[in-house]
Structure 1
Amino acid sequence: MNRAKPIMIVVLLIGAAALVWYFLSGSKRERQLSGYIEGESLFLAAPVSGTVASILAQEGQRVGAGTQLFTIDPATLSAQGEQARAQVVEARTQIATSEANAQQAEAEVTAAAADANRARQDLNRLLTVRSDDPAAVAGKDIDAAQATLREANARLSAARKTSQARRAQVAAAQAQENQARGGEREVSIRVDQLSPPAPSAARVEEVFYRPGEWVAANQPIVSLLPDDRIKVRFFVPEQKVARYRPGQSVRFSCDGCASGLTAKISYVSPRPEFTPPVIFSRDSRDRLVFMVEALPQKPGGLMPGLPVDVEPLR
């Protein structure tokens, strides 16, 4: 009987410890919020069709902002660039020719205006003399002076129309040059886009083409998972969602991850939903929850789809 007492005490202590552990661990599990890592892929492409010249990154590799990921053979755009430059030169030549013609037309206007002015003065002089002495000027002289003035005015009108047409040609040539220069700039920009850099720190998810393969314009060549597009998505019971606001920080953990991970809340859904199937459990599948998204402070190494446990806010 005396030997049985210590055994009973040990059994009771072990049972009590197990019971305490069960309730503590259950309470901890109850406090944790279920979620997962979500990521938005970014697809990089070239604006023109061409042959892939090189792939400068491997799948799974981390790259920094500005890293070149691939290059497209610039042969097609090089030909377009030469054509655009030739059009610019042609437009400049046309401008020079048009300006020379316009200057000549202006000179003809000046000369025609001078002729018309002299003819008008001659006619006025004859009319003045005849008004003083009608016999001093013959009628045929007046008729000839009037005819000369009409011809001079006609030449002046024609010269002005020609001058206007020449100025219009200059404007058209200048517009053609602007258009050609715009085409040249566009080709230059597209050449730079033959090897678009990573816009931010990211992990290379997939490479769709290899060197030597033909790729159509705007067809994705590399997909990235940028760090700034990785988020923690978790679900909060409706009776506790009021505690969660954008800008607040939460702690989360996941299998194989470093300890002490934190994320800043960026979005709280305004609409409730039933617990998503991806995190169904017997205890939570009938509850209404609100989706919350948070941006991790250290997103490197977090893989989309990875389950996480989030410590709730108090």
Structure 2
Amino acid sequence: MIRKLIPLALLLPLASCGPSNDGNTLQGYVEGDYLRIAAPEAAWIGEVPLTEGTVVKKGQRLFTLDDTAAVAALAEAKAGLAQAEAALADRRLGARAEEIKGFEAQRREADAALKLARQDLDRQKSLAAESVAARARLEQAQATASQAAARLEQVTAQLATARLPARPDQLAAAEATVEAARASVAQAEWRLSQRHIDSPADALVDDIVRRPGEWAPAGGVVVSLLPPDHVKLVLFVPQTRRAGLAPGAKLAVTCDGCKPGLTAQVTRIASDAEYTPPVIYSRETRAKLVYRVEAALTPDPAALHPGQPVSAEPAP
């Protein structure tokens, strides 16, 4: 199946790029597979400490995005983690000694109040038969004694609870809260790291698409890089020679002004023909068929640059 219709005239200028012009010479050009480094999230561009045409090392800073919100989110996540860890530690320790002492003091106070209320109740009982007023004071004393007894029971229960360790389900819930807080911190740290973009490889800075102060949409390219090993040759093989060429084949490469001894290795051969009209093949039309071939420069991928016309022929 035919993929393209491109005039053969585009290949004519390539015929003069090498010293050889015989039937074994393949014509083509140099092409680059660029790394287009984009903003992972929409943001204002902070810094782009690069110059076009220079080389960056792997891990070198390419550009930064405004990180105000990301820094605040990380601080909030860390504060949440500290709070969750403190709550877990409190659950594991139970009530402090000072708290238990406070409950004990409240219990002694409630116990003394109950004893006093019972003494007053006994006194009012002996006087209740003498007058109506005495009977009223008896009822009041009974109510006071009941309240004192209830207060003592309440404080006793609080003291017993304070001396108990935390329940397993409470500890499990507190531990889960800590793990969730740690995950939030990790996520906030990752989001902050995405505001500082480093080079994934040693590469040439081919183009700076966006500058400091510009708005970068999510996925918007900021810098275009060209690693040395991403440079390749694109050659065109006549259909008469297609069967004799296979991936892995060695090629001798020449071009105007290039250093001698350049070689390349075929990495891919297109399965579809190009530069031919979609007609039934005859002997005349078959002679016009060519196939796109890609080859990697060895051993010096940086010896050539995208756009250069080249010639290649099978290496001896």
User: 2: CA distance between counterparts of 1:50 and 1:195?
Assistant: 12
Q: Is the 8 Å Cα contact of residues 244 and 313 (structure 1) preserved in structure 2? A: no
Query: 1:40, CA displacement in angstroms?
Result: 1.7
Q: Which residue of 2 aligns with 1:47?
A: 40
Q: Secondary structure at the match of 1:70?
A: strand
Q: Which residue of 1 aligns with 2:66?
A: 73
Query: 1:166, CA displacement in angstroms?
Result: 4.1
Q: Secondary structure at the match of 1:188?
A: helix
User: 1: CA distance between counterparts of 2:176 and 2:32?
Assistant: 48
One-letter amino acid of the counterpart of residue 184, structure 2: G
Q: Which residue of 2 aligns with 1:274?
A: 274
Query: 1:33, CA displacement in angstroms?
Result: 0.6
Q: 1:42 to 1:242 in 2, by over 3 A?
A: same
Would you identify which runs of 4 or more consecutive aligned residues in structure 1 move more than 6 Å? none
Matches within 5 A, 1:81-96: 81-96=74-89
Matches within 5 A, 1:208-287: 208-269=209-270, 271-275=271-275, 286-287=287-288
Q: Is the 8 Å Cα contact of residues 239 and 287 (structure 2) preserved in structure 1? A: no
Q: 1:300 aligns with which of 302, 306, 312?
A: 302
Q: State the percentage of identical aligned residues.
A: 36
Q: Is the 8 Å Cα contact of residues 203 and 226 (structure 2) preserved in structure 1? A: yes
Q: 1:168 to 1:284 in 2, by over 3 A?
A: farther
Query: 1:222, CA displacement in angstroms?
Result: 0.8
Query: 1:285, CA displacement in angstroms?
Result: 9.0
User: 1: CA distance between counterparts of 2:74 and 2:182?
Assistant: 11
Q: 1:309 aligns with which of 280, 304, 311?
A: 311
User: 2: CA distance between counterparts of 1:82 and 1:295?
Assistant: 48
Query: 1:183, CA displacement in angstroms?
Result: 2.2
- 1:157-182: per-residue Cα shift (whole Å, max 9, x none)? xx9xxx9x943332232222222212
Query: 1:86, CA displacement in angstroms?
Result: 0.9
Q: Secondary structure at the match of 1:177?
A: helix
Query: 1:91, CA displacement in angstroms?
Result: 1.5
Q: 1:218 to 1:169 in 2, by over 3 A?
A: farther
Matched, 1:37 2:25: no
Matched, 1:57 2:50: yes
Query: 1:81, CA displacement in angstroms?
Result: 0.9
Q: 1:195 to 1:254 in 2, by over 3 A?
A: farther
Q: Is the 8 Å Cα contact of residues 230 and 295 (structure 1) preserved in structure 2? A: yes
Q: Which residue of 2 aligns with 1:105?
A: none
- TM-score when normalising by structure 1: 0.61
Q: 1:213 to 1:178 in 2, by over 3 A?
A: same
- TM-score when normalising by structure 2: 0.61
Q: Is the 8 Å Cα contact of residues 50 and 216 (structure 1) preserved in structure 2? A: yes
Q: Is the 8 Å Cα contact of residues 29 and 233 (structure 2) preserved in structure 1? A: yes
User: 2: CA distance between counterparts of 1:196 and 1:179?
Assistant: 27
One-letter amino acid of the counterpart of residue 172, structure 1: A
Query: 1:32, CA displacement in angstroms?
Result: 0.9
Q: 1:274 to 1:213 in 2, by over 3 A?
A: closer
Q: Is the 8 Å Cα contact of residues 276 and 285 (structure 2) preserved in structure 1? A: no
Q: 1:28 aligns with which of 11, 21, 26?
A: 21
User: 2: CA distance between counterparts of 1:301 and 1:212?
Assistant: 36
One-letter amino acid of the counterpart of residue 312, structure 1: P
Q: Is the 8 Å Cα contact of residues 27 and 236 (structure 2) preserved in structure 1? A: yes
User: 2: CA distance between counterparts of 1:249 and 1:294?
Assistant: 9
User: 1: CA distance between counterparts of 2:62 and 2:224?
Assistant: 10
Query: 1:313, CA displacement in angstroms?
Result: 5.1
User: 2: CA distance between counterparts of 1:98 and 1:258?
Assistant: 75
Structure 1: any 5+ residue segments left out of the alignment? 1-24, 103-158, 278-282
Q: Which residue of 2 aligns with 1:138?
A: none
Aligned length: 227
User: 1: CA distance between counterparts of 2:292 and 2:307?
Assistant: 15
Q: 1:272 to 1:64 in 2, by over 3 A?
A: same
- 1:18-47: per-residue Cα shift (whole Å, max 9, x none)? xxxxxxx99733321111222222121343
Q: 1:272 to 1:52 in 2, by over 3 A?
A: closer
